[in-house]
Structure 1
Amino acid sequence: MAKVIAVNISEKKGEIKHPIEKGFFKENHGLVGDAHAGNWHRQVSLLGNESIEKMKNLGMEGLCTGKFAENLTTEGICLYELPVGTKLKVGEVIMEVTQIGKQCHVGCQIRQLTGDCIMPKEGIFTKILTEGWIKSGDEIQVI
């Protein structure tokens, strides 16, 4: 079963996100209170724990959920293989995949701390179609 293992938030772009118990994901906005939220195509970022484990296996220490600035840390689904346009039901929320990977920006705190960033290769971005709450443990379904 694919599921959410952490919901993460930050107040500024380019910073590590910290876990919260649950988050409200607003339609056409993203995670309320998060720096990356807004009316654009990258409202929510997702990264698989499997990708974080790859970085740990390369010898990177101190990695945990939110370290790569992802809003949702997932488990049991290969996110970067989902085609753009895929719809996901996560907790109460329906979201649509809008982008796979991204260009890492200059001065990225994550790259400075870890030496590398997996988000540009294996992170995905979505927009919120139906709003609601997401918490750790919520199931992820491809619809």
Structure 2
Amino acid sequence: MAKVKSISFKENNGWTECNHLYLDASKLKESKGRISFITQIGQERLLKDEMKGFCHQRFKANFVVREMEIKDLVVDMQLRVGDTIVSIIQVGKACLLECPIIEASNPSCFVNRQVFFGAIIREGLVKKEDAIHILD
């Protein structure tokens, strides 16, 4: 079963890791209510890859999730994450052509395929270890 492994929140131009987060779209003004997820595998690659691209240096997700299969996700699918309902608005992320990894290994790196983004449909509390359920 997919679960929340870690939670981070951007505040005052810095990231804070926390044990829980109340998701309220109005409080996520910088991201326009959009939240980001990365799989545990993707997060490990961000930390361990020898060749570092732009994402390795700049990307930080709100949620690291474990046991989540990106291949099972599609745009407009809804997820229950803790008490919150999130609608998937993007699966994967675009690579920048100037990225060192793209220049070296064309056409893309592994990390961008381990990320997805969502919009908050129902506000609520999300805690570490909360289950993530795909809703029908």
**TM-score normalized by structure 2?**
0.72
Greater share of strand residues, 1 or 2? 2
Q: 2:60 aligns with which of 62, 69, 82?
A: 69
Partner of 1:19: 17
In the aligned structure 2, how far is the partner of 1:134 from the partner of 1:3? 11
Q: 1:127 aligns with which of 112, 119, 125?
A: 119
Contact 1:10 1:34 in 2 (8 A): no
- The residue type paired with residue 20 of structure 1 is C
In the aligned structure 1, how far is the partner of 2:110 from the partner of 2:117? 14
Unpaired runs of 5+ residues, structure 2, are: 52-57, 102-108
- The residue type paired with residue 9 of structure 2 is I
Cα separation, partners in 2 of 1:35 and 1:69, compared to 1, 3 Å: farther
**RMSD between aligned residues:** 3.3
Cα separation, partners in 2 of 1:10 and 1:52, compared to 1, 3 Å: same
Contact 1:93 1:134 in 2 (8 A): yes
In the aligned structure 2, how far is the partner of 1:20 from the partner of 1:104? 28
- Paired residues, number: 123
Q: 1:86 aligns with which of 77, 84, 90?
A: 77
Partner of 1:5: 5
Partner of 1:63: none
Sequence identity percentage = 24
Q: 2:132 aligns with which of 100, 124, 140?
A: 140
Moved over 4 A (4+): none
Greater share of helix residues, 1 or 2? 2
**TM-score normalized by structure 1?**
0.68
Give how far 1:103 is off. 3.2
Structure index of larger Rg: 2
Contact 2:2 2:65 in 1 (8 A): yes
Contact 1:24 1:134 in 2 (8 A): yes
